[in-house]
Amino acid sequence: MPQNWTAVALSRDVPPQVVIPTVVEGRELAVWRSQSGRIAAWEDRCPHRGMRLSHGFVRGEALSCIYHGWSYNEAGLCQRIPAHPDLVPPDAIRVPTLTAAESDGIIWVTAESTDRPPPKMPGFTPLRSLTVEVPASTITAVSASPIGEDGDLRLALAGIACLLLVQPLPGDRTALHALVAAGTSPTAQASVSRALEDLRHQAETERQAA
């Protein structure tokens, strides 16, 4: 069964009242966390003038567009148009939303409707994310590891068991969300982080040589 959840970020990299841009299956998205901690993934476009919502700002449980301040509630419905403070916006003004969920410190997004919860990665703890200027196929070639059905690539870095959640991005780029074996010491985690950067360097060099 093909996986339908894509890992897009570590939970701790999107703290409350922060919004970031990302791409899932070619769709440009704004992923954001409300003040109370709720995570959401929306189309990265305000229906008013097409401005990217990932440039917007979070107040309370709403995301606002930076262009004209139109704010959208957790369902993606426009709830306020500052140019017309007394107007109740019609329900037709809404941002298309996707499903976002968190599992063990990872933010997952799916463009499909699903009953299946996001995958679990037992025995691993989130380390960091990084973007590599190569397609996912180059990562698998360089690491000599296949990608599992949850987008997970398992390998040893600095001699420690690691797991990379692979997120394909447009323009032959790839985001890697790295996890390490639970209980790895901070010193060893730093070594894994450096090994990860070496892997990136190796993949990008490989790419240039090809």
Q: Which amino acid is at 201?
A: H
Q: If binding is defined by CB under 8 A, does position 169 make contact with other proteins?
A: no
Exactly one of 1, 83, 144, 210 binds other proteins (CB under 8 A); that residue is 83
Q: Residue 69 or 148: which CB sits closer to other proteins?
A: 69
Distances (CA, A) of 207 to 61, 135, 142, 170, 200: 43, 9, 10, 16, 10
Distances (CA, A) of 14 to 39, 134, 143, 161: 9, 24, 28, 25
Q: Residue 122 or 171: which CB sits closer to other proteins?
A: 171
- Taking the C-alpha atoms of residue 167 and residue 173, their distance in angstroms, rounded to an integer, is 9
Q: Residue 92 or 209: which CB sits closer to other proteins?
A: 92
Q: If binding is defined by CB under 8 A, does position 135 make contact with other proteins?
A: no
Site string for other proteins, 29-68 (x = CB under 8 A): ---------------xx-xxxxxx--x---------xxxx
User: Which residue reads 């190796």 in tokens?
Assistant: 202
User: Which residue reads 């032959």 in tokens?
Assistant: 172
Binding site for other proteins (CB under 8 A): 28, 44-45, 47-52, 55, 65-69, 81-85, 87, 92-93
